[in-house]
Structures are given as C-alpha cells and as structure tokens.
C-alpha cells in the first residue's frame, strides 16, 4: 500500500450492542418480507402467486397466511425455537478441547470415541464434525509421510515454523 493512513472507526457502542441491533434489523427484514407477501394477498393474489412473487416456498407462504389469519400482525413475527440444547455443556466442550490438544492426529472417529468415553454421549459423526468445527478446527487433507525425510531437518523446520507464528 502506498502510505495511505488507515482510518480508525469510532466505537460509539460496544460490540454486544451492535450485534443486538444487527439481530433486530435482520428480524425486521424478515417481517418486512412477510408483510410484502400479505400485501400481495390483500391485492387478490393467490397464496401460490404471492409466494412466487416474494421468492418463498408455497409451504412457508401458507404458514405465514394462516398465522396472519389466526394471530394478525403478531403472527408473522419470526418465532425462534432455539433448537435442542447440546448434550455437552460449555465446560465439557472446554474439557474436550483440552483433550483434543493432547492428540497428535484428530479424526472424526477419534473425537467420537473421546466424547463417548469421557462424557457418555454418543453423537453422530456429522454432529461430531460440527462440534469440532465450532471449537475452531478445520479439515485438512492427510498426506503420506516421506520415510526418507531427515528427522533432524524436520525438527529444525518445526521449531522455525512455531517461532514464526
């Protein structure tokens, strides 16, 4: 870059408050889309036509239509259920992360076994991958180890690469 000074942003509100405002406006956009759908129905369009116009599935549009008829404007406000609570508590996830740091190689099978043995929870492999990803790990393609590699050079490389991070 050619000497252009970086401009600093004034942080008028904390990040938590900013996140709350973003979440609220995202919710408002969803309500706005639903109101456009209802307005299209007011103008005489069928549920199917109004759904196509607003780019939503017929089943979602039908749910919005029924909620509007039963509850009025309050019926189209998104109702987030929050999902099923995790079987692992946040403390157990921290403990899992410590256990994973002790492992040299981490695979879905290994993590599944660690969770089952230490916490008594039998997750599906898909859920294990989701948990591992939420802990900050990412996928990597395994490569074969070159047996002819000089072990001393490997150690020097490891030391140098850890120091540069």
pLDDT digits (tens, 9 = 90+) for 33-91: 889 989 999 999 999 999 999 999 999 999 999 999 999 888 888 877 777 888 998 89
Q: Which residue has the higher pLDDT, 62 or 104?
A: 62
Element at 47 (helix H, strand E): helix 47-54
Rounded to the nearest 10 degrees, the angle between the axes of helix 47-54 and helix 58-71 is 110
CA distances from residue 163 to 1, 75, 160 in whole angstroms, order as listed: 27, 57, 5
Is 39 within 8 Å of 46 (Cβ atoms)?
A: no
Q: What is the mean pLDDT of the chain?
A: 84
Of the candidate ranges 12-16, 54-58, 96-100, the one whose mean pLDDT is the lowest: 12-16
Query: Residues 141-158: what's their mean pLDDT?
Result: 71
Residue with tokens 């991070």: 165
Half-sphere exposure of 11 (CA within 13 A, CB side): 5
pTM, rounded to two decimals = 0.44
* Letter string b/e over residues 1-19, b meaning 16 or more CB atoms within 10 A of that residue's CB: eeeeeeeeeeeeeeeeeee
> Does the pLDDT of residue 2 top 70, yes or no?
no
**Percentage of residues in the chain with pLDDT exceeding 90?**
36
How far apart (Å, rounded) are the C-alpha atoms in residues 158 and 60? 54
How far, in Å, CA of 51 to CA of 138, rounded? 38
Tokens 């692992």 locate to 88
């Amino acid at each position: 870059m050619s000497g252009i000074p970086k401009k600093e942003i004034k942080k008028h509100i904390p990040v938590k408050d900013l996140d709350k405002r973003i979440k609220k406006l995202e919710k408002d956009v969803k309500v706005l889309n639903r109101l456009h759908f209802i307005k299209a129905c007011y103008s005489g369009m069928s549920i199917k036509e109004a759904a196509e116009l607003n780019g939503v599935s017929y089943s979602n549009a039908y749910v919005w239509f029924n909620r509007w008829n039963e509850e009025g404007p309050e019926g189209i406000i998104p109702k987030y259920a929050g999902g099923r609570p995790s079987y692992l508590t946040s403390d157990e996830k921290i403990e899992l992360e410590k256990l994973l740091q002790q492992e040299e190689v981490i695979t879905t099978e290994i993590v599944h076994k660690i969770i089952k043995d230490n916490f008594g929870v039998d997750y599906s492999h898909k859920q294990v991958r989701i948990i591992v990803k939420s802990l900050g790990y990412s996928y990597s393609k395994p490569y074969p180890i070159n047996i002819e590699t000089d072990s001393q050079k490997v150690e020097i490389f490891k030391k140098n690469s850890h120091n540069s991070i």
